[in-house]
Chains A and B, each alone.
Chain A
Amino acid sequence: MKPVPDPAGSVAVSMEVNGRTVERTVNSRRLLADLLRDELRLTGTHLGCEHGVCGACTVLVDGQPVRSCLMLAVQADGCEVTTVEGITPKDGLSPMQQAFKDHHGLQCGFCTPGFLMTLAGVEPEDHPDEESVRELLAGNLCRCTGYEGIVDAVMAAWDRSR
């Protein structure tokens, strides 16, 4: 008979999410993605595979793109977390979001927040041409667009000619 799981109890965490301080007591095994989605109701972060491949759940932790399905909520204690809600201006869209819209860089939109967060966490000058942009985007999967509109959007938002 398998042992009955006994998650090692709950842990108090404090983090800054989209600029607001959040204090919660979370189960130690709870994923950061589930804390964001189910407890903070920041449902713009999506779960596409829950094993770190598809990138839909990408958020920024202390400015770096991180898969929130591979990180425990307790590991984000003391960190700054940014989600797609946090990069969206109060009115309208950010330049990158607008570029996705202009270049048809999304269809169903499920993977889109993950792409946006990956892009929000990198320096454009580290990805100077289309090949390096595609390399950057290769960690996020999209099943609708064939990536064309996404690559076009990034190249436009970063003022690259093609």
Chain B
Amino acid sequence: MTARPTHIGAQVARVEDDRLLSGGARFAADIALPGMVEAAFYRSPLPHARIVGVGAGDALEIPGAFGPFTAGDMTDVSPYPDFDEHARPVGIFPLARERVRYAGAPIAVMVADDRYRAEDACDLLDVDLDPLDPVVTTDAALAPGAPLLYPDWPDNVVIGFPVDNPDANAEFDGRMAVSGRYEVGRHTGVPMETRGVVAEFREGRLTVWSSTQFPHIARTMLSYCLPLDENDIRVIVPDVGGGFGVKAEFYPEEVTIPWLALRLGRPVRWIEDRREHLLATCHARDLVLDLEAAVDEDGRFRAVRGMAVQDLGAAEMYPFGYSPAFTAIGHITGPYRIPHQSVGLLAVATNKTPCGAYRGFGIPEATFAIERLMDKAADRLGIGRNEIRRRNLIGQGDIPYTTSAGAIVDSGSHREAFEETVRVTAERVEHWRAVLGDDPGIRVGSGVVNYIEGVTPTYFMTTGHWTAYDSCSVRVNPDGTAVVSVGVSTSGQGLESMLTTLTAEALGVRRDQVRVVMGDTDRTPYGLGSWGSRSTNVASGALRIASDRLLEKATRIAAHLLEASPEDIEAHDGALSVRGSPGASVTWQQVATAANIRTVDLPEGVEPGLEAAATYEPPGIEHVPDEYGRVNAAATYTNASHAAVVSVDTGTGQVRMLEYIVAHDCGTVINPQIVRGQVVGGVAQGIGGALLEQLHYDEWGNPQSTSFLDYHLPGATEIPTMQVLHFESPAPAMPWGAKGAGEAGIIGPGPAIAAAVEDALSGMGVAEITRTPITAPYVLSLLPTP
């Protein structure tokens, strides 16, 4: 390697920011096309009902209204294929057929000249629904004789994955068992931009603008559902106002709106409102983990066993809503040396909004359960909560370490990050106790937790179809500017900036010579989009291979132009130079002009053009688990230690975040500001889920959280100051050693805050905190009645 300056780790401004700051960005709702009409959906007001009929009522008295369109009109539409042979087939159809299974399910759609009139028209439809008994909890769904959501099924189980591992069971002989039932409540991503779809069918081609995280997958799915070839479909992702996983689902509206454009011959726009978003965009979590650990007297965990039960809602979600629960099982032992596990899964259909992906994707649930159990074991044994972790954490000598779930931890700073977090946290607790004084009604506490996060995972267990690779093509224009197009797709994380930096690094062009193209199926190579903290790993891998190929050719051309040997050429800062001879240099423009225009200047045997393409699947990813669920499902593993410092008002039960400490290791840091932003933003979302956010249903299955008055997102006064301590353990097998950073922050807050609240209330005879959100009434309920 050369010793030239590197772009890696440099703090540079994001290339996205100017347009976003000035109002110049273009989001889905900003798209307006000549002749465009707007659509509004009639959604089920009932959680469970048979559809008797949909009539126009007075809807067509609204000037310019068309419709209603229902499933019965979609005779040329195919249901989503059911790709998981182990799960019950759901046969998702864009509009409800015969039955609705959650309040908010789309039944019919109206269009009009603007959204006001389309919504008026929906209000005037004559829809006849015959109510069915709702199934509101997993217990009710699993009870004998429960009403069935899918009448063809024998019960309400979408997928069951029982695990009975004798090696794990044997560890329980003669050992102390510690058990608990841990529940992470129903909450979800809630990006500030809702979903939106705009579609136009023109000259035999369908163009769809969608706020999706996976444009190529969306195009393929459209080709499965609509009578069009993929060639006839273009999916464009405009600027996206946050995704967090909930836009990595393929939604019914993404078929219905394009279908309407085909049917009407006019462009159609649908922009979800916030109420629809809280009803019809996927929910998440809602997982109960019954977990039992076999623990030695010195606190060492030998095995965990138990069951994950997920309230999946109506199951009409693709990619699969139960995949996060599998990921939870895959992370159940965290960064601890626990030799055996035996944890199964039951995903149950209920009459609630279908669950799907949300940042963290099962790992927050797993971490909540194992960290709570570790606290409980420590308390039972009289070992300190930090000390028990110290005795169980994997260390450098253990790496590479294969967890009992089959994850191969290739690198990390598990003990180092933990010890530093413990040290800093102790100081900060001292500080806050001094600041808050000795008011007996306000008590300060802290909790430290650890986790690992598999990043860049296979998509095969989530889709039953796609796997793990992605792609990149690099082209150098005659003027020396580089165009990099990739299959990943941004929703605001800063991927353009990341790829700009890596292209400059790989090719030796200047950052301002790089143009990144993403989110357009006509202009980018096939790829799987952005989810699973994968984009940095997969895009950089493909970029590295393509860049190396391109650079090799450019080097030969430069050597020829400079009458030097290719081995002596190095590329840096927009030029290709002879090493050690600064005067002997050509610009990328000279090389690219030779390659693209003046091919008479090319050396013999070098073909015209200056571009290269590559695909990349990180090594070592397994796509199918064994009978005990073991699988190395991710390319590499980040680690972190989190600490919450809280105060608790013993009179009101109010928990206040005082400070949050994160020691985070995502391998090589490409842009420290972006990584810190991902960590801090993730922690903030995690705090929301731990303390505030709850998608509540009444006992009849009616959703109660349908606006921001009922669903409380954290604001600037609820998120504390954070300390982020960076550790860098490069991933040995990844290009540049980086590990994805997108999801990590959200994983720790639940168990860290739970432990901190218990710590604050220690000595008061408080019951164990076993669920989130940790609301004030919940805290009060844990205190012994005076």
Contacts and interface: CB of A to CB of B under 8 A. Distances in A.
Interface of A: 1-2, 4-5, 7, 27, 29-30, 37-38, 41-51, 53-54, 56, 83-85, 88, 93, 97, 100-102, 104, 106-113, 116, 133-135, 137-151
B13 A48 contact: no
Given A4-B62, A48-B192, A116-B21, A146 B29 contact: no
A24 to B, nearest CB: 14
A83 B29 CA distance: 17
B30 interface: yes
A151 B16 CA distance: 20
A141 B192 CA distance: 8
B715 interface: yes
Contacts, number: 189
Given A88-B22, A141-B708, A104 B673 contact: yes
B492 A144 contact: yes
19 contacts: A1-B58, A2-B123, A37-B29, A37-B30, A41-B32, A46-B193, A50-B274, A53-B708, A54-B708, A108-B240, A109-B25, A133-B716, A137-B715, A142-B716, A144-B192, A144-B681, A145-B684, A146-B685, A147-B684
B26 interface: yes
Nearest to B492: A108
A104 B679 CA distance: 13
B138 interface: no
A111 B241 CA distance: 8
Nearest to B707: A51
The 5 A-B residue pairs whose C-beta atoms are closest, nearest first, are A44-B23, A108-B492, A109-B20, A110-B241, A146-B684
Contact of A88 (B13, B21, B494, B715): B21
A29 B57 CA distance: 23
A41 B190 CA distance: 26
A51 B276 CA distance: 13
B676 interface: yes
A5 B124 CA distance: 9
Given A109-B25, A146-B684, A148-B680, A138 B715 contact: yes
B722 to A, nearest CB: 6
A48 B492 contact: no
B167 interface: no
Interface in B703-729: 707-709, 713, 715-717, 719, 721-722
Given A27-B116, A116-B21, A150-B716, A54 B192 contact: yes
Contacts of B677: 104, 107, 144-145, 148-149
Interface residues of B, number: 64
Contacts of B707: 49, 51, 53
A147 B716 contact: yes
B566 interface: no
Nearest to B20: A109
Interface string B1-42: 000000000000110111111111111011010000000000
B398 interface: no
A108 B676 contact: no
Nearest to B673: A104
B681 to A, nearest CB: 5
A108 B191 contact: yes
B24 A134 contact: no
A108 B17 CA distance: 9
A29 B116 contact: yes
B220 to A, nearest CB: 25
Contacts of A141: 192, 708, 713, 715
Given A46-B27, A47-B29, A107-B677, A143 B191 contact: yes
B21 A5 contact: no
A37 B239 CA distance: 16
Contacts of B25: 44, 109
Contacts of B321: none
B22 A97 contact: yes
A146 B58 CA distance: 47
- Most B-side CB within 10 Å, residue of A4, A56, A84: A4
Nearest to A134: B716
Contacts of B194: 48
Nearest to A96: B21
Contact of B193 (A48, A101, A145): A48
Contact of B30 (A43, A109, A140, A151): A43
Contacts of A145: 677, 680-681, 684
Contacts of B26: 43
A134 B491 CA distance: 26
Given A44-B22, A44-B24, A109-B492, A147 B719 contact: yes
Nearest to A56: B192
Contacts of A88: 21-23
B647 to A, nearest CB: 15
Nearest to B271: A47
B722 A146 contact: yes
Contacts of B21: 84, 88, 93, 97, 100-101, 106, 109, 112, 116
Given A43-B23, A54-B708, A101-B17, A110 B193 contact: yes
Contacts of A108: 20, 191-193, 239-242, 491-493
B447 to A, nearest CB: 19
B709 A146 contact: no
- Most B-side CB within 10 Å, residue of A45, A139, A147: A147
B419 interface: no
Nearest to B243: A108
B674 interface: yes
Contacts of A29: 116
B282 to A, nearest CB: 16
A97 B191 CA distance: 22
Contacts of B190: 143
Nearest to A150: B716
A113 B192 CA distance: 12
A73 to B, nearest CB: 12
A133 B721 CA distance: 13
A28 to B, nearest CB: 11
A138 B716 contact: yes
A56 B240 CA distance: 14
Contacts of B709: 51, 53
Contacts of A54: 192, 274, 708, 713
A2 B124 contact: yes
Contacts of B29: 37, 43, 46-47
A48 B16 CA distance: 20
B298 interface: no
A143 B30 contact: no
Contacts of B683: 146
B617 interface: no
Contact of A45 (B23, B716, B721): B23
Nearest to A47: B29
Contacts of A4: 58, 61-62, 120, 124
Contacts of B23: 42-45, 83-85, 88, 113
Given A107-B677, A135-B717, 9 more contacts: A4-B62, A43-B30, A46-B192, A48-B194, A109-B19, A109-B239, A109-B492, A110-B241, A137-B716
Contact of B242 (A45, A102, A144): A144
A1 B58 CA distance: 8
Contacts of A109: 16-17, 19-21, 25, 239, 241, 492
B65 to A, nearest CB: 11
Contacts of B58: 1-2, 4
Contacts of A5: 62, 120, 123
B326 interface: no
A53 B21 CA distance: 21
Nearest to A30: B116
Contacts of B123: 2, 5
A53 B706 CA distance: 13
Contacts of A107: 242, 492-494, 677, 681
Contacts of A45: 23
Contacts of A102: 13
Contacts of A51: 274, 707-709
